Amino acid sequence: MSAIRLLVLGAVRMHGRAHGYQVRNDLEFWGAHEWSNAKPGSIYHALKQMAKQGLLKAHEVAPSTAGGPPRTEYEITEQGTEEYLSLLREALTSYDQKMDVLSAGIGFIVDLPRAEAVDLLKQRVEGLREWRASVTEYYTPQDGPEQLGHIGEIMNFWVHSADAGAEWTRGLIERIENGAYVFSGEGEPFVGVLPEGEENPYATGEPHPGDEN
Amino acid sequence: MSAIRLLVLGAVRMHGRAHGYQVRNDLEFWGAHEWSNAKPGSIYHALKQMAKQGLLKAHEVAPSTAGGPPRTEYEITEQGTEEYLSLLREALTSYDQKMDVLSAGIGFIVDLPRAEAVDLLKQRVEGLREWRASVTEYYTPQDGPEQLGHIGEIMNFWVHSADAGAEWTRGLIERIENGAYVFSGEGEPFVGVLPEGEENPYATGEPHPGDEN
DNA sequence: GCAACTCTAATCAACTTTGACTAGGGTACC
DNA sequence: GGTACCCTAGTCAAAGTTGATTAGAGTTGC
């Protein structure tokens, strides 16, 4: 599972109705172009693909108001909402090392009820625990770990990552249980979108120090 | 950068001469099909592509000795070796969160001289430090972190990951400086390949507990 | 002796990802 | 008043990825 569909569905849903460039801007506001494959080509492709599959409904729209080619606006369908929630749950539960998917999941976590969010994150911790155990077993065969030479360092790296991931997840669970953030059904939701017409301080073009490529 | 080219080049180089199925088996022995995109299709594609680009030389070979379609054997070229070392250095230095690339790099780290390996890993730690600083700045604008709501948790997650990654890297540096493993130019290298004709205990088909999909 | 199965080795079509490019319009400068 | 530049919005070809499928050859059961 890549993060792009979750990100695009979530962004369209937040707006109610959005064209590609809007989605792209929201995701840049989140920094998603840096930690995921939310690049222009992928976004437009995902929009078209999901429209074809009935997860989004495409509206034909007049030649844009501010220069450039005509824009197509999209709206999420009922089927799309189902898919969205399903992807979101999977992103939060999955304990593999896909940082982009998890990041996207966190971005939309408040679309779930608080109790469910906590529950999914606990499942994530449990999954990490099991996964860690299986890796440990995998690289400590009866003949001793020397068998693997430096290859064992790869496994060591995974285990280390699993531990760090679990620790962070437990911290998040605690913050949520202590009342942080506004979740589904708890009143006015926080919307991580640029106010209409405002400038995006984090847009492409001015990479922060330390960026690659 | 995906991990596949590094993995395939490194595997072919270890053998001197290898056909696709051999590469696939080596990578499975490493567990690479679980933590990277080293799946059959990608491996064969990478082999052909890199042969076309002159990184590998393809030898036409008689219809295989043990059933199945005829096999093509590959050998790494001088240009391929250059590319291999360049990819390897990049994988070890890069401080972004591509776990598969780093894992592949660790797998081949002993192809470098010990001193260079340590140096590259130190660069990685330094990169992580800078990257962490830039993220911290990014999500603590003058208006205070509340601006970002739960979106700040994404940044928090990155910072946490960067810290964990740096810590693990420092541990590896220490082990290497204390003489662990056999590096380039230090005598008989450790070869993480299945002995000819031996069975692979970790091959596809019997996933360990906790695996996804 | 032959049908069903397994193993080896690789291909293929469908899909996704990428980064460079296009094209329309506004704006600054002199 | 023209030209150099920038912003908006999106397309495209090339490359990479995936999972299913093919195809040859040995093996087992009856």
Architecture of domain A1-112+184-207: Orthogonal Bundle (1.10)
- Across-strand partners of A73? A19, A59
- What's the gap in Å between the CA of B69 and the closest CA on chain A? 32
Collect all residues of chain B within an 8 Å Cβ-Cβ radius of residue A154: 30-31, 35, 103, 106-107
* Smallest CA–CA distance from B189 into chain A, residue: A149
Which one is predicted more confidently, A194 or B82? B82
pLDDT of residue B51: 94
Task: Give the residue-averaged pLDDT of A119-134.
Answer: 94
Which one is predicted more confidently, A204 or B129? B129
Which one is predicted more confidently, A212 or A154? A154
The residues spanned by each domain of chain A are 1-112+184-207, 113-183
Nucleotide nearest to B69 (CA to C1'): C9
Q: For residue A140, is it left (φ>0), alpha (ψ between -120 and 50) or beta? A: beta
Query: B203 at the A interface (CB within 8 A)?
Result: no
Q: Which two tokens stand for residue B186?
A: 């230090």
CB contact under 8 A, A103 and B133: no
pLDDT per residue as tens digits for the range A142-189: 555 566 788 889 989 989 999 999 999 999 999 999 999 999 999 877
Query: B148 at the A interface (CB within 8 A)?
Result: yes
Task: Give the residue-averaged pLDDT of A93-102.
Answer: 89
By the 8 A CB rule, do A87 and A6 touch?
yes
pLDDT over 90, % of chain A: 62
Q: For residue A184, is it left (φ>0), alpha (ψ between -120 and 50) or beta? A: beta
Which pTM does this prediction carry?
0.86
pLDDT per residue as tens digits for the range B36-61: 999 999 999 999 999 999 999 998 77
Strands A72-76 vs B72-76: parallel, antiparallel or unpaired: unpaired
CB contact under 8 A, A154 and B106: yes
- What's the gap in Å between the CA of A205 and the closest CA on chain B? 15
Flag whether pLDDT at A202 surpasses 80.
no
